[in-house]
Amino acid sequence: MSQPAQLPRRFGLHRRYDVTGVSGTGLVAYGTQYPTGRVTLAWCCSDIQSVAVYDDIDDVESIHGHGGLTEIRWIDPPHVPEPSVGAHPSALTVLSGRARCATATQHTA
């Protein structure tokens, strides 16, 4: 099995002040941004733990940022694309400006 063209990028959600009184302060959630731009956010530091999916990192920031009281701190460095000759990696398909993993049918086509 081949490795994906790009791995997800991890981050922590750090809260300086808890507006709602639910999640507390400090590190309150871990997140992952996938090559497609989609984001998962796993709440880890309150009595109620959940995982949510967002379309992009901007949605996470606008919903949970509370005007700068909570910040996204990246664990992994930004992805630096490899030089290409105009083609996308074979395991990646670009649709409407977003990348997605190729299906088995696309691999055999």
Residue 85 has what pLDDT? 62
Q: Is 71 helix (H, G, I), strand (E, B) or coil?
A: strand
Question: Which residue is associated with the tokens 């490795």?
Answer: 3
pLDDT digits 0-9 by tens, 55-85: 999 999 999 988 888 999 999 998 776 666 6
Predicted structure pTM score: 0.67
Q: Which two tokens stand for residue 22?
A: 């639910």
Choose the most confident range, by mean pLDDT, from 1-5, 13-17, 51-55, 104-108: 51-55
CB 13 within 8 A of CB 27: yes
Rounded distance, CA 24 to CA 6, Å?
A: 33
Beta bridge partners of 73: 12
